[in-house]
Structure 1
Amino acid sequence: MSPPRLDAPDSAPAGTGWSRWPAPAKLNLFLRITGRRADGYHLLQTAFQLLDWGDTIHLRPRADGRVQRVNDPGYGVAGPDDLVVRAANLLRSEANVSEGADILIDKRIPTGGGFGGGSSDAATVLVALNRLWRAGLDEDALAALGLRLGADVPLFVRGRSAWAEGVGEALTPMALGPAFYLVVDTGVSVPTAELFRAPDLTRDAPAATMCGSFSGLVPGNAFEPVLRRRAPVVDDWLRRLSQLGPAALTGTGGGCFVRFGARADAEAALAQLPAGSRAIVAGGVDVSPLHRVLAAGGA
């Protein structure tokens, strides 16, 4: 199956009772590994930038308690095993909810690209169904549920661009200011666990400070040299993008980006890429589009 379009339009689910909720992508502006915990988990430092581009989750409550994904988003995961279904069932159980939900995903974020698509989709389901089901859980409780689903889920539950430490769950909101990103899907997806096991991965980088990172003194992604050696297409893309500006890898996937101060500059850079490139211009935001919808009263 072909990958989803990065700019795919929203679908219009058949029937009544549907609501529409954004699930934004993220970038890791840098990522370093400073050590390991006793349980083997790696200790990270990163700055998460939320974007104004991502997936859309459509939800429709059901009275019969059943939770189901009603479409095939194309990433090869069966409905009952999908993180969005697991998120809904976890919320149902923890909040003692009797209702169920239909879930439809408009997929734009490439799977395995390091843009946080699966985590964001799950977080949106938690946050939106908490409201639709009137479950009454606060943000801390939802973030704790999210952490049981994945390390990046709390970021999207809290909905603020942030400095992160620990395994990525210790979040401090950051005001990163206006920025526009040329985002590229290289098509490379390597299992995160495999990258963390790589013998050439640097695991003892010195700890940075928020001030140092924000001023650009802590560039780089610990996984970039590993991926460049293992996936020549990533190396090729980073070389190409470096001609347009400071190019970087995001997360533990093959996704790359270049930061610009103005949308026009990012659009001009996009126009210089080869025809058929899987690329898009997205704006950085300090507050998640999901939380803007919540603040406005719902979808």
Structure 2
Amino acid sequence: LVFRAAEAFFSTTSIAPGVRIILEKKIPVAAGLGGGSSDAAAVLLGLNRLYAAEMEPEGLADIGLKLGADVPFFLQDCSGALATGIGESLRQVDPIRNYWILLVNPGFAVSTKWAYENFPLTSYSNPFILARGRKMDGNFMLSSPGLFEELGNDLEAVTINRYPEIGYIKKELKKAGAVTALMSGSGPTVFGLFPGKKEAQHGFEQFAREYGDNVFLVRPYIP
């Protein structure tokens, strides 16, 4: 995806290609964390700056969308956004604050392509409805009271059915004190939101004993 991003940038700008890119991954691959999409976004932003191409954010987003639906989000200079459409329509929102995020990766990869191919889209023969949709007003915040109870990931129906360990991790995160726990993206990584550092650290130590280096304790990124 990094190569495709560079190729798309040079093709769009008509700049003669000539760059060496070294990719150093610090998160698990195929983990549902948007790693590939964020790498692609970093390449587009970096090349735009390196070559002083002065492409507008909208132009970069157009390139990014052709690479993947998540890429436009990672081109935004914000830590929270409400995405609609296939992810190309973004509205900045107040980010999650004052929470610790515990990420647990069970140690196996899940193909995003496989997850979406097996997702039961709504049709006449299969009336699958995304029931958790809600109207978001102008004051929508990721930290709004009661919002955590409404959060959901419809792809869990596909991935957990194939990999029940993800469901186990969700339950254990909630038992450890997370106010909510969900699979990230198409999986298999699961995240839990903790209101305090003490509970989060305790959860980290608990899961690290079982999953080792595939457990991460982080805070929200707020530029």
For Structure 1 versus Structure 2, the TM-score category normalised by the shorter chain is 0.7 to 0.9
Query: How far apart, in 1, do the equivalents of 2:2 and 2:120 lie?
Result: 34
Q: 1:89 to 1:285 in 2, by over 3 A?
A: same
Match of 1:171 in 2: 90
Q: Could you tell me how far 1:88 is from its partner in structure 2?
A: 1.0
Match of 1:102 in 2: 20
CA RMSD for the aligned pairs? 2.1
Query: How far apart, in 2, do the equivalents of 1:186 and 1:153 lie?
Result: 25
Q: 2:36 aligns with which of 118, 135, 139?
A: 118
Match of 2:125 in 1: none
Is residue 205 of structure 2 the alignment partner of residue 279 of structure 1?
Answer: no
Indicate if the aligned counterparts of 1:154 and 1:169 stay in contact, CA closer than 8 A: yes
Percent identity among equivalent residues? 32
Indicate if the aligned counterparts of 2:101 and 2:200 stay in contact, CA closer than 8 A: yes
Q: What TM-score do the two structures reach when normalised by structure 1?
A: 0.63
Q: Could you tell me how far 1:279 is from its partner in structure 2?
A: 0.2
Q: 1:248 aligns with which of 179, 182, 185?
A: 182
Q: 2:135 aligns with which of 202, 206, 209?
A: 209
Q: Could you tell me how far 1:127 is from its partner in structure 2?
A: 0.3
Query: How far apart, in 2, do the equivalents of 1:194 and 1:86 lie?
Result: 21
Aligned length: 205
- Structure 2 letter corresponding to 1:192: T
Match of 1:233 in 2: 165
Is residue 195 of structure 2 the alignment partner of residue 270 of structure 1?
Answer: no
Match of 1:127 in 2: 45
User: What runs of 5+ residues in structure 2 fail to find an aligned partner?
Assistant: 123-127
Query: How far apart, in 1, do the equivalents of 2:197 and 2:173 lie?
Result: 16
CA offsets 1:3-23 (integer angstroms, 9 cap, x no match):
xxxxxxxxxxxxxxxxxxxxx
3-state DSSP of counterpart to 1:145: helix
Q: Could you tell me how far 1:220 is from its partner in structure 2?
A: 1.4
Query: How far apart, in 2, do the equivalents of 1:177 and 1:237 lie?
Result: 22
CA offsets 1:57-89 (integer angstroms, 9 cap, x no match):
xxxxxxxxxxxxxxxxxxxxxxxxxx1111112
Q: What TM-score do the two structures reach when normalised by structure 2?
A: 0.83
Q: 1:181 aligns with which of 73, 90, 101?
A: 101
- Structure 1 letter corresponding to 2:20: D
Indicate if the aligned counterparts of 1:188 and 1:231 stay in contact, CA closer than 8 A: no
Q: Within 5 Å, which residues of 2 pair with 1:1-299?
A: 83-160=1-78, 161-178=80-97, 179-198=99-118, 203-206=128-131, 207-210=133-136, 211=140, 214-215=144-145, 216=147, 217-244=149-176, 245=178, 246-275=180-209, 277=211, 278-287=214-223
Which protein has the bigger helix share? 2
Q: 1:91 to 1:274 in 2, by over 3 A?
A: closer
Query: How far apart, in 1, do the equivalents of 2:141 and 2:118 lie?
Result: 28
Q: Could you tell me how far 1:248 is from its partner in structure 2?
A: 1.1
Q: Could you tell me how far 1:133 is from its partner in structure 2?
A: 0.9
Query: How far apart, in 2, do the equivalents of 1:209 and 1:286 lie?
Result: 25
User: What runs of 5+ residues in structure 1 fail to find an aligned partner?
Assistant: 1-82, 288-299
Which protein has the bigger strand share? 1
Q: Could you tell me how far 1:247 is from its partner in structure 2?
A: 1.7
Greater mean deviation of Cα atoms: 181-190 or 269-278? 269-278
